[in-house]
Amino acid sequence: METLKEVFGRDLSKYEEEAEEISLELSRKLGNSFPYALTKQKRIILYAVVKQCNPEIVIETGVGPGVSSTMILSALERGVLHSIDVREKLENGMALGFLVPERLRGKWRLHIGRSIDVLANLVREIEVDIFLHDSEHTFENVMFELRTVWDHLRTGGIIFIDNLDFTDAPRTFVKEKKVRLYRLSEEAGGFGMIVKEAR
């Protein structure tokens, strides 16, 4: 397992400290509900990398209560987060992404539908800086999302994969593209990252 310092060659601890405070507030609001929400370690990694990279376009699949959305939006200094999810209401009747604070919603674009129906159209006109896969973790869906985004990911762009161990798709994909898969967390099925290096 790699650390962010090993991957980026610099200390991102100041961003990790900022992320701790945001994560703590999210945990207070969540309580014991939504056990599938992004874990604390993953939240901190996601925030620190977004802050470090200062992206213009971030896309995530899978929103749920809005934990990852809030972490990304909190780290964004410019640009927009596009979030894709199949539903508008959660299983408890709450609105999708209800945790996202109102002050952050101006840079948030929510797309309702399956990623297989939404993602290809979304990336057609844009160059993606960071992508987070956290939707349906089947082999077919993960491969579709990774392949679709890869062709529109800028050089130096980053893909995050939550629940890394739920399918062999991430390992199949990196073999296909001859790139490296970094394992950044062991929590809750693992958290992986791929960087699109210059060829």
Q: Tens-digit pLDDT profile for the chain (199 aa)?
A: 788 888 888 888 899 999 999 999 999 998 888 878 899 999 999 999 999 999 999 999 999 999 999 999 999 999 999 999 999 888 888 899 999 999 999 999 999 999 999 999 999 989 999 999 999 999 999 999 999 999 999 999 999 999 999 999 999 999 999 999 999 999 889 999 999 987 6
The CATH-assigned architecture of domain 4-195 is: 3-Layer(aba) Sandwich (3.40)
Q: Which alpha helices (DSSP H) does 54-113 contain, by range?
A: 67-75
Tokens of 61: 């699949």
**Calpha distance 185→157 (Å, rounded):** 20
Q: What is the pLDDT of residue 32?
A: 80
Query: b or e along 142-151 (b: 16 or more beta carbons within 10 Å of the residue's beta carbon)?
Result: bbbbbebbbe
Q: What is the pLDDT of residue 199?
A: 63
- For residue 18, CA distances in Å to 24, 44, 170 come to 10, 8, 29
pTM exceeds 0.85, yes or no: yes
Q: Which alpha helices (DSSP H) does 76-168 contain, by range?
A: 115-123, 139-150
Reference 133, options 153, 111, 121, 149; nearest CA is 149
Tokens of 19: 């992320």
CA 64 to chain CA mean position, Å: 12
Q: What is the DSSP letter of 168?
A: S
**Calpha distance 197→156 (Å, rounded):** 5
